[in-house]
Structure 1
Amino acid sequence: MMKKLLASAAVAVTCAAAPQAGAETFSANNFLDAGHPFSVENYTNWAKDVAEATDGEIEFDVFLGGVLLGGRASLTGTADGVAQVAYHAGTYTPSELPITNIISELAFLTDNFYALAAASTIMSFTHPALLEEYEKNGVVFGGGYGTPIYYLICNKPIRTAEDLQGIRSRMPGGIWDRWASAMGAVSVNVPSSEIYTGLDRGTLECGVNPLDSLLSRSYWDVAKYVPMIPLGSYYSGPMWAYDIEFWQDRTPEQRQILLETAGAAFVRSAILYLENTEEAQAVGASEHGMEFIEVDPALMAKHEAFVENDSANLVELAQKQYGVSEELAVDLIDTFKALVAEWEAKLEGVDFKDQETLTKLFVEEVFTVVDPATYGTN
């Protein structure tokens, strides 16, 4: 049975426990629509968890769907105190977050999105270059994330390399832009919230997103074809970016609660993503006429050649496009790859919907690797 998802695309949800004396209500912003797994679990339900765990001392009004801050404005808006915490998609602002974007360029490294989420989150909490980057932008990194694998979702069939020529596809930037160029498609950089309209109006022929969006964003109403080419996981930027003043005004115990509840929320959102994906594929095929296309072997081979060549050139790209030294580029890439390998090993044999095991791992070994008494207080 289809899960009940919040329908409004632009809402403010008040998530609070019983008000306490001296308690203050803060603003939490996620530009994604209310039915998105990251909105449901990482903002709406997470805010309730925080209110309960702090006995109402920290309460959030949760703003969804861009009514407070849009996707590109979420970073600066949080730094300016418009929101005290917000989700920010890092590829939307490569000039402000070049180090973050170098890490994001490794999105095709593995299909294990949990390992990518763990590696990017740990690095963002601990690597000096990433810490400096977030501080420079006026925010404290409060936790990362990762999506299940992206695919093209199209309103016309894509079966061969020729079918991709000239196709206008929404891409989130970075490696996806280069993939589109290598495939002969045209990359269109707009927020994911504009994919539905673009497909509906014909300004887009494809949009890159996880398959869950067929269900959670009703893409199956405007697109009927999914060429099954795995296009990496999206984990760029913070799921929770905190205004520095807000973070520093919290006690160490409150910061610990914010981190622990975020780790648990991420796991719930990932599982919801996976459950929605399974339902989207089953219901999409049976009730919405979706076709999940096994593409021509030559097209898959072209995709695999791109992945190999792009990875080999990443150090040079980091230097030219993001202005970092060769030494830093090598360090970032090697550190990330080592963490991904470590977490692929940790997760070997773990059911991707085993909430108890995954929550323990992510809360204890990812989201609380920092000391809440000192982290973000310099």
Structure 2
Amino acid sequence: MKKLTKLVATAAATAFLAAAGAAVAEQRVTITSWTSPKHPTSKAHQDFADLTEAQYPDAFDFKVFNGGALLGAKPTLSGLRDGVADIGILALTYFKAELPYAQMVADMALLGDDGYVMGGATTEFFMLACEPCKESFSKNGIVMLGGLSTAPYVLLSKEPITEISQLSGLTVRTAGSVWDRWAAEVDVKAVSVPSSEIYDALSHGVVEAAVQPVGALKSHSLIEVAKHMTTLPLGTYHSGGNYIAGLGFWNGLSPEQREQLAANLALGVARTVFYYADVDREVLEEAAGLGLTVHEPSAEMLEQITAFRKTDLEAIVEIAKEKHGIADAEALLATYSGLIEKWKGLVAPINGDVDAYAALLQQEIYSKIDFTKYPNN
């Protein structure tokens, strides 16, 4: 009987130690977003967490916070740096002084007419091709693990807008940088608020229109306050990252944990871009039922944005040098432009296939990074 009791006690102790070991091995990972749970970026966060937990069930315990429940848009940079959250979405254009290279990338927004292209090109630029970018991120206590790109921006408004004259005097929510310069050209007052606050800004009359992708009508519920859309080609927002980690958190991971966390990053980025494109498609298919009226811009509006795009691109090098203090702007912009052309060729055959896109991201970016040393490799 004593022998049996001893065996039972030993087995119980072994089970306890095994459970304790599993608990110690499981790394808590907090992901923060200010977007709603149905937004493309939040949906991709949850996918990434679920996939990684399923692949490494004893390695990570993910906690995903949406809708600004943990951190708002602008506090996210300091929150990641200080360990309030471990991974999050960052709109890099909110941090002009801290992240000058990201502003240079944002200034190329009007080159964006395909989210798949810009998501791939920008992620490759930030993670592989731009050492000063990585240094800038590290200096601010963050690590870029995956970029993003919205679907192409259009003009969402409370009243119809098809002529340049109808823009004059309006207050419009923009995402800063090039859109502010365009706004000045057409006599628009540009207002910068986080995308999560556009609904309130429109509903309370703070702004009369917003530069956003079509899908924002659903993912930010803007269809309730903006019933008109003008298909003016206003580029993409791609100076951001949906998978940006705090440097302290990243440095605290073991080499094995880093590689495990990186295993699904390509698919996470791919799903972010795919969800943006998918919600655009949904809105356009449901336009009539949503009460949305789609307007084509006048020839004059199209001519103006085309001419502005050309002249603004010519000025970006000087803007990067004088405003953002980037001495080697020509070389970096040439590299980035080359990546955009490269990704145009890569994504053309995949026709929006999210798994094929993830495979491209893995092949062209993630397979080339040693995550045990990144971002210092």
Per the TM alignment, residue 253 of structure 1 is displaced from its structure 2 partner at its CA by: 3.2
Match of residue 131, structure 2, among 110, 128, 133: 128
- When the two structures are superposed, what TM-score results if normalisation uses the length of structure 2? 0.90
| CA distance in structure 2 between the partners assigned to 1:103 and 1:275 by the alignment | 25
Per the TM alignment, residue 162 of structure 1 is displaced from its structure 2 partner at its CA by: 0.2
Match of residue 298, structure 1, among 291, 297, 300: 300
CA contact (8 A) 1:125 1:369 kept: no
Q: Which residue of 2 aligns with 1:68?
A: 70
Q: Which residue of 2 aligns with 1:13?
A: none
Q: Which residue of 1 aligns with 2:374?
A: 375
Q: Which residue of 2 aligns with 1:346?
A: 346
SS for the counterpart of 2:273 is helix
Match of residue 84, structure 2, among 82, 85, 110: 82
- When the two structures are superposed, what TM-score results if normalisation uses the length of structure 1? 0.90
Q: Which residue of 2 aligns with 1:237?
A: 240
Alignment of 1:318-329 (within 5 A): 318-325=320-327, 328-329=328-329
| CA distance in structure 1 between the partners assigned to 2:248 and 2:308 by the alignment | 44
Per the TM alignment, residue 80 of structure 1 is displaced from its structure 2 partner at its CA by: 0.6
Q: Which residue of 2 aligns with 1:214?
A: 217
Counterpart amino acid of residue 106 in structure 2 = S
Per the TM alignment, residue 62 of structure 1 is displaced from its structure 2 partner at its CA by: 0.9
Aligned residues: 355
SS for the counterpart of 2:97 is coil
Q: Does 1:274 align with 2:268?
A: no
| CA distance in structure 1 between the partners assigned to 2:235 and 2:261 by the alignment | 28
CA contact (8 A) 2:112 2:152 kept: no
Q: Does 1:196 align with 2:181?
A: no
CA contact (8 A) 2:156 2:210 kept: yes
Per the TM alignment, residue 260 of structure 1 is displaced from its structure 2 partner at its CA by: 3.1
Counterpart amino acid of residue 85 in structure 1 = I
Q: Which residue of 2 aligns with 1:362?
A: 361
Q: Deviations for 1:306-326, whole angstroms, at most 9, x for unmatched residues?
A: 10000011111111210121x
Q: Does 1:49 align with 2:51?
A: yes
Counterpart amino acid of residue 103 in structure 1 = V
Q: Give the structure with the higher percent helix.
A: 2
| CA distance in structure 1 between the partners assigned to 2:268 and 2:30 by the alignment | 18
CA contact (8 A) 1:143 1:367 kept: no
CA contact (8 A) 1:91 1:173 kept: yes
| CA distance in structure 2 between the partners assigned to 1:229 and 1:158 by the alignment | 10
CA contact (8 A) 1:122 1:369 kept: no
Q: Does 1:93 align with 2:95?
A: yes
Q: Which residue of 2 aligns with 1:331?
A: 331
| CA distance in structure 1 between the partners assigned to 2:54 and 2:349 by the alignment | 34
Q: Deviations for 1:65-102, whole angstroms, at most 9, x for unmatched residues?
A: 11211111111110111111111100111111111110
Q: Which residue of 2 aligns with 1:24?
A: 27
Please tell me the root mean square deviation across aligned C-alpha atoms, in Å. 1.6
Counterpart amino acid of residue 29 in structure 2 = F
| CA distance in structure 2 between the partners assigned to 1:253 and 1:148 by the alignment | 34
Q: Which residue of 1 aligns with 2:120?
A: 118
| CA distance in structure 2 between the partners assigned to 1:218 and 1:366 by the alignment | 34
SS for the counterpart of 2:98 is coil
| CA distance in structure 1 between the partners assigned to 2:116 and 2:281 by the alignment | 17
Q: Which residue of 2 aligns with 1:187?
A: 190
Q: Which residue of 1 aligns with 2:262?
A: 259
> Structure 1 segments of 4 or more deviating over 4 A?
none
| CA distance in structure 2 between the partners assigned to 1:204 and 1:340 by the alignment | 33
| CA distance in structure 2 between the partners assigned to 1:226 and 1:100 by the alignment | 29
Counterpart amino acid of residue 363 in structure 1 = Q
Q: Which residue of 1 aligns with 2:11?
A: none
CA contact (8 A) 1:33 1:39 kept: yes
Per the TM alignment, residue 377 of structure 1 is displaced from its structure 2 partner at its CA by: 5.7
- Flag structure 2 segments of 5+ consecutive residues without an equivalent: 1-20
SS for the counterpart of 1:239 is strand
| CA distance in structure 1 between the partners assigned to 2:367 and 2:241 by the alignment | 15
SS for the counterpart of 1:72 is coil
Counterpart amino acid of residue 331 in structure 1 = A
| CA distance in structure 1 between the partners assigned to 2:326 and 2:268 by the alignment | 34
- Flag structure 1 segments of 5+ consecutive residues without an equivalent: 1-18
CA contact (8 A) 1:143 1:259 kept: no
Q: Does 1:246 align with 2:249?
A: yes
Per the TM alignment, residue 298 of structure 1 is displaced from its structure 2 partner at its CA by: 0.7
Q: Which residue of 2 aligns with 1:154?
A: 157
SS for the counterpart of 1:349 is coil
Residues 288 and 320 (structure 1), Cα distance of their counterparts in 2 relative to 1, 3 Å cut: same
Q: Which residue of 2 aligns with 1:14?
A: none
